[in-house]
Amino acid sequence: MGRVALLLAVACLGTCSEAPDWLDHVKATGKLVVVTRNSPTTYYLGHDTEPTGPDYDLVRRFADSLGVTLDIQPRDSLEALFSAVANGDAHMAAAGLSITDRRQSRLTFSEPYQQVRQQLVYKLGTGRPRSVEEIFGRDIVVLRGSSHAETLRQIKADHPRLTWREVDRKEVGDLLAEVAAGSIELTVADSNEFDVHRNFLPEIRVAFDLGVDDALAFAFAKDHSRNLTTEADRFLARVRRDGRLARIQDRYYGHTDELDYVGTRSFIRHVDKRLPKYQDWFREAAAQNELDWRLLAAVGYQESHWRERAVSPTGVRGIMMLTEATADYLDIADREDPRSSIFGAARFLARLKERLPDTIREPDLTWMALAAYNVGFYHLRDARAIVELGGGNPDVWIEVREALPLLAQKKWYSRVKYGYARGWEPVRYVENIRSYASILRWLTAERERAIDPAADDPKLSVPAAAELSDVAP
């Protein structure tokens, strides 16, 4: 019997008229114990070693809704995770788990919070397999105990020649990296896992989908979890209805399909060739203005590809592409001086954030400030007004993102104060910067681990999807 289960049993001796439920124990102790996986699609330590990740964000809000603290505990394999829940060492798992028949024989699941597709992944240039028959005899590696292994077993029933290997103590991201490096030929990943990694591993490609969509859900022990599972279902219904679930998913996945292979490879090459010349200035300017230096550097790359003499057809200049009016506002004499441009852009971005209402939370605040940097503060204000006209929430980026392109339609720009704007441009601008910043975070984390091997500890990892501090509650 696990420690949590033992404590619950002791607490109920002589007092419980029926089988005790984890919900009673959670509320009695004031703590929700959750096991998870260390990966960019579940939980990891992000900027300033703050816990983050889509499943973490979701289960933290679940704990908040119960009025208890969250005790999040990573496990290094799927079997260890399943055992922790089944044996009563944790109240539940929040780990991007697919609902499968085999798992349902052992665990109980909540209502789904996300749909994904299982995808066979190969390396560009190695020959794309287009059918199951074309992967017979090839080196396929998946995680032991994963839903991917279950799917392969189901396929094997009709295709006996299919073979694969199963490994422990790795994550799907590790296998995708091995495919990119050519260490293994093929693996299987959920579509959200592929989407997160595709910008950092531009060599990987989807060969074809395996089967139908899978549902991801929280997992609970079969015994003692009925009330806690019901409470989780109610919570998931609320966050789906009020938009919080969509905002969490946008935070981690909303920018993942913006860059193609050529764009990603070019960016990585420029990180090596061009960024070192300016990196210290990006760091210093960002620190002075309470910004993430990698985000500021991503703005510079989106603007000029880190070329200090860049000039656009409209006359904006320099590494951060400042207009003449903005340079005057910032008291910058030479827009083509890279240090002045970088420090000026950092001040300008920080001021845009200050001008936006205090009701906007991170990371929405940063995305809107970036949109204003591109399209202008007053056009952004118009887009927020359009959201309000439609009865939406103007403090949420995913709603403003939908409204910005409407500024190019007379039906809408005629109803707002500052009129027409090429509103689709700031949307692409923000999503590109999010992608560049995520790649840069991943690259810098990888290089720091190469210098300091202790950084390879999973508890200290900063996976590719690292984002800003929070999403609106």
Enumerate residues 6+ apart whose C-beta is below 8 A from 199: 256, 258, 259, 264, 435, 438, 439, 464
Tokens of 422: 């090429």
CA distance 15 to 291: 54
Cβ atoms of 422 and 453 within 8 Å: the answer is: no
Beta bridge pairs of residue 322: 317
Tell me the C-alpha distance between 164 and 15, whole Å. 52
Q: Bridge-partner residues for 215, per DSSP?
A: 115
Which is nearest to 272 in space by CA: 301, 244, 299, 243? 301
Which of 171, 258, 303, 467 is an active site residue?
Answer: 303
Answer yes or no: are the C-beta atoms of 277 and 271 closer than 8 Å. no
Classify the C-alpha dihedral 213-187-262-128 as positive or negative: negative
Burial class (CB in 10 A: 0-12, 13-18, 19+), 269: exposed
The C-alpha atoms of residue 157 and residue 89 are separated, in whole angstroms, by 35
Count of alpha carbons within 13 Å of 73, Cβ hemisphere only?
A: 16
First to last CA, the chain: 36
- In order of 43, 49, 73, 284, 436, the CA distances from 458 in angstroms are 11, 12, 12, 29, 24
User: CA torsion sign, 77 to 80 to 86 to 92?
Assistant: negative
Q: Could you give the CA distance from residue 149 to residue 118 in angstroms, rounded to a whole number? A: 11
Indicate if 258 belongs to the active site.
Answer: no
Q: Beta strand 107-109 with 114-123: parallel, antiparallel or unpaired?
A: unpaired
Active site residues: 303
